[in-house]
Amino acid sequence: MKLTICLDVGGSFAKGTVFDEKSNELVGGINYYPAKSEESGSIIIDNFEHIILDLYMQVVSESKIIESIMMAFPGPFDYPNGISLITGLGKYEALYKVNIKELLLEKIMNNTNMHITQQVSIQFFNDATSFAFGEYAHSQSIITKGAYFTLGTGCGSTFIEAGKSVKGQFGIPDSGMIYNELFKNSIIDDYLSARGFLKIIQDDYGDSLTPVEIYHLAISGNQQAIRVFDLFGRNIGEALAPYIKQFQPDEIVFGGQISKGFQYMEYAIRKVFDQMASDYELRVSEDTSYSAIQGLDYLKNQQGEDIFVK
């Protein structure tokens, strides 16, 4: 049996599971591991090797062999070549311009505790793209187009049509990502992100509370906290409106930490989107990391195909 190990790598945790050739999960749910993103490069790489080994050992037998390792990683990142370009973000600084693919491949090929095919592959994908394809995989039987956004440290975005990630069409940049596009006095990433949310807290709520604290206040019925989410929802609607209008997705899905407050943002988002699109489903992901991992398995099964359309 050939195995695919999928990892969603974040700043605090790396989450992973194992799939067989038929996309059956072989371990009990998602496993969580400390990412050690602030450590030295060698410690981070050793930690990735440890995670892969731990997942493999949960399903190990002589008939099971690792065929591919799929990793969702935050950007900036040279995904085809497996080189991290992250700097100035307080995570993975030690891996800046390091070829993670080469170092990790060497590690696992020399690890005598793992059965590995000689053609084993390690592939990297943007975490927002992986999330999008995971969500799309659940809906592809009933939709053609989907727009997927992650709201966290930054704003991740992926537009999918007929199983392909769209770029250079419908007003979508050639990169396929909209985070760097102009919006109000800056760019989208400065508004649809944790720092954009914090600015609303400071400007409107008048306090230096964290997003988590505001979320709990909103749950308790605090109207000021609910207003913070509503204002953030307005920014979401206004920033994404041009792309929704041109792309006309069948579904629009939000993920990421901030999307946990979706119920308090939904009205403001719909108020804008309803003017831009019709017959669309608007929802929030049940589990962003799980969707990213599912997306990695989906992308693995597209090997040999270009997932982008332009």
For residue range 251-308, list pLDDT tens digits in order: 999 999 999 999 999 999 999 999 998 889 999 999 999 999 999 999 998 764 555 5
Name the residue with tokens 């909209």. Answer: 178
For residue range 74-87, list pLDDT tens digits in order: 889 999 999 999 99
pLDDT tier at 44, thresholds 50, 70, 90: very high
pLDDT value, residue 119: 87
User: CA-CA distance, 73 to 82, in Å (whole number)?
Assistant: 10
pLDDT value, residue 96: 96
User: CA-CA distance, 155 to 188, in Å (whole number)?
Assistant: 7
Q: Where are the alpha helices (DSSP H) in 79-185?
A: 100-109, 127-139
Q: What percent of the chain has pLDDT over 70?
A: 97
Q: What is the pTM of this model?
A: 0.91
For residue range 47-72, list pLDDT tens digits in order: 999 999 999 999 987 688 999 999 99
pLDDT value, residue 306: 53
Name the residue with tokens 């973000």. Answer: 89
pLDDT value, residue 303: 61
